[in-house]
Amino acid sequence: MAVFAHPAARPIVAFSRVTRSFGPRMALLDCTVSLQPGVVGLLGPNGAGKTTWLNLAAGLLQPSSGQIRWFGDLERRAPGLDNRIGLATDNDQLPRRQTVIDWLVGMLRLAGCGKLYAGQRADQMLERLGLDAKRGDRLETLSRGQRQRVKLAHAFALPATLLLLDEPLNALDPVWRREVAALLHEAAASGTCVVVSSHILEEVEALASWLVLLFKGRLVAAGTLEDIRDMLHNRATVLRIGCQDARALGRELLAQAPVTVLRVDAATNRELTVQAADAEALCRALPRSVIASGVAVERVDTQGDDLVSLFQALAAEVR
Can you spell out the DSSP letters for the chain? --EEE-SSSS-SEEEEEEEEEETTEEEEEEEEEEE-SEEEEEE--TTSSHHHHHHHHTTSS--SEEEEEETTTBPTT-TTTGGGEEEE-S-----SSSBHHHHHHHHHHHTT--HHHHHHHHHHHHHHTT-GGGTTSBGGGS-HHHHHHHHHHHHHHS--SEEEEESTTTT--HHHHHHHHHHHHHHHHTT-EEEEEES-HHHHHTT-SEEEEEETTEEEEEE-HHHHHHHTTTS-EEEEEEES-HHHHHHHHHHHS-EEEEEE-TTTS-EEEEEES-HHHHHHHHHHHHHHHTPPEEEEEEPP-SHHHHHHHHHHTT-
Fold of 3-231: Rossmann fold (3.40.50)
Q: Give 10-residue mean pLDDT values along the chain (319 residues).
A: 55 96 94 96 90 95 96 83 86 91 95 93 97 96 96 94 94 93 95 91 84 91 81 66 96 91 94 84 90 94 61 60
State the pLDDT at residue 55: 95
Domain boundaries 237-316, corresponding CATH code: 3.30.70.100
pTM across the whole model: 0.76
In the chain, domain spans:
3-231, 237-316
